[in-house]
Amino acid sequence: MRRLTEAVYSGAAHTRGEPPRRSQARVLPGPATVAVLAVVLILVAGMSVWRALAGTAGAGGQETAAASGASQSGQGLPGDPEARTSSSGRDPSGAPSPADLVIVYVTGRVGSPGVVSLPTGSRVVDAVTAAGGPLSDADLAAVNMARLVVDGEHIQVTRPGETPQEPVPGGRAATGADGDPGMAVACVDLNTADQTALETLDGVGPALAGRILSYRNQVGSIASADQLDEVPGIGPALVQRIAAGACP
């Protein structure tokens, strides 16, 4: 039909003396071409999305690796409190390590006599405060409150005019008659005292001290000074003199 129509138009044009009209052919893509173009467009879009996602994942991986490396080196991330704690050499919980502490023994005219733990670099005033603070009758002028404390030392806070007790080898502190540690006097523990400490007892010389040590080794322990009556050379009178310096 199309060709017949073109032939009619061509004959009419020839009759009028017009040059024949050339037919214009249209080139349209077929279904296969359209399908191929669609697949190519889908692949290009997919590649673009994949590259974008891969770039984001790579940046996140680099940040994680950087954070992990900083944590292992002990530096941590800026603003991280745990990192600052680790770099300071302390426990992450904030508690000081044993190497950062000193332990001292505070007795006498303080509120709570006993062993206290203090940070390294503390002073006597810190130790006294940790032991309950000084009592109203404490002679603070006799104690250098500004002195740095030493690990393992014994700080004694006394009353005015009272002399601090001297440590006795093999002995321990015994409270006064009223149980006041501020009135402590030195005593000799018969179960732990060595030869030198036993010789500090009234009436005990080197030979007698040696016999007391031998007796203690035989019986295992000495319940009281009265038990020393069983030691050769010690009678009731000497037992009373020994008991006055022995710890109860």
* Pairwise pLDDT comparison (60 vs 153), residue with the higher score: 153
- Pick the more confident residue, 44 or 70: 44
Per-residue pLDDT tens digits for 90-149: 555 556 566 688 888 898 899 998 889 999 999 999 999 999 999 999 999 888 999 999
How far, in Å, CA of 191 to CA of 67, rounded?
A: 61
Higher pLDDT, 40 or 176: 40
The pLDDT of residue 134 is: 94
Architecture of the domain defined by 188-245: Orthogonal Bundle (1.10)
Q: Are 84 and 74 in contact (CB under 8 A)?
A: no
Of all residues in the chain, the percent with pLDDT exceeding 90 is 23
Above 60 in pLDDT, residue 33?
Answer: yes
Average pLDDT score over residue span 151-170: 76
Non-local (6+) Cβ contacts of 21 within 8 A are 9, 10, 13
User: What pLDDT score does 151 carry?
Assistant: 85
pLDDT for res 136: 92
pLDDT (mean) for 75-97: 49
Q: Look at residues 148, 128, 132, 154 and name the one whose alpha carbon lies nearest to residue 140.
A: 128
In tens, the pLDDT along 172-222 reads 554 444 444 444 446 888 988 888 889 888 888 899 999 999 999 999 889
> For residue 110, which phi and psi values (nearest 5 degrees)?
-130, 165
- Both tokens of residue 122? 């503390």
Domain residue limits, the chain: 98-157, 188-245
DSSP assignment of 55-92 equals HHHHHHHHHHHHHHHHHHHT---TT-HHHHHHHTTS-T
